[in-house]
Amino acid sequence: MAQITEVVSDANQLKSVLRAGLETLDLNSTVTFQKYNQVILPLDGYVFWVPDTVMTVKGSFHYAEDIQQSADETVGFASVVFTSECEITDFALLSQQSIFIATFGNFRFAFSRQDNFYAAAGLWHYMGHSIYPALASQLLDPPVTLDKTRAIVSNSLPFWLQLNGYQPIYGGFGNSVTLYPAYEVAQNMKPPYGVVDINPTDAIQAVPLFTLNEYHTQLVRDRVVITLYGLQNNECLNFQDCVNQYSLDTDNIGLMNMPVMKDAQRTQVELQTIAMKKVIEYEVSYYQSNSIAVAKQLIKAATYNLIVSTDIPS
């Protein structure tokens, strides 16, 4: 039977051999990582990243590159493994509102996971992919600027975000559920919360018009799916009543269907149960000019409440 000292000695030898191999491969090179902090556009919940500090780490890149072609883009895409002799504590301690992006050759990489870690080897492997060109505009590197007075989306999302904290003018049920745009829910968000998914948007009015303020406007219709987590039936019905009252109070949206709250199943085999998940589908009509006006109201009311970290450069 091996003694403890022998096991420790073998582990140290393994680490020494592997690190020597790593230093041979990377030629003692270093990689610079740019830290970005998350900012959220208050009009429609769009996520952007503003550059912050820079960090240099010693390690080795391994990557595979290929070309991907789709109907709307042809891009060079790369998968990367970054190997380091020590744990990058800045990665481990990174908040949910920050990311690190490295530049290597013609690619910029972001990392999504740590993998293939074996303590005896003493090496840390970080996996990621190159930044898609279509998403590079979300990185607000100087001299890139963003007009904070205009929304990104072209649908009814500003109306639904206005429901956050909404209290009916003449009393009734207010909304206590925070709504997020689809695919932009904060990481590891704990219920209760809701998600707004809008698709498609169709025209009701054949030809767009211009308002007195020269806003392009058209009467359109959205199909909206609201997913609610962590709420019991009565609370979900309160939310539905609040949407109805919001429509009556503001005339921002008109209800075109007969929505009803439905149960949905979200499982996890380890827990052997289902989540408290509800879904309700709306068809709403609205004028695009009203959406712009509500977006401007959200700027005045929520700019300092919804942006998580530093402000968006202007």
User: Per-10-residue mean pLDDT for the chain, 314 residues long?
Assistant: 44 52 56 88 86 84 83 86 72 73 80 62 76 90 82 90 88 88 89 96 92 82 98 96 92 96 94 96 93 56 41 51
Tokens of 15: 């680490």
CB 181 within 8 A of CB 40: no
- 184 conformational bin, left if phi > 0, alpha if psi -120 to 50, beta if neither: alpha
Tokens of 175: 């909304």
What is the three-class DSSP state of 183? coil
State residue 285's pLDDT score: 97
CB 267 within 8 A of CB 131: no
Tokens of 174: 């207010």
Which DSSP string corresponds to 230-269?
A: S--HHHHHHHHHHHHHHHHHH-S-EE-S----EEE--EET
State residue 310's pLDDT score: 47
State residue 121's pLDDT score: 53
Q: Are strands 179-181 and 193-203 parallel, antiparallel or unpaired?
A: parallel
CA angle 88–92–95, rounded 5-degree value: 130
Helices and strands in the chain, H and E counts: 5, 16
State residue 11's pLDDT score: 47
State residue 117's pLDDT score: 56
What is the three-class DSSP state of 187? coil
Confidence (pTM) = 0.77
State residue 309's pLDDT score: 44
Domains recognised in the chain with CATH numbers: 4-138 (2.40.10), 157-306 (no CATH)
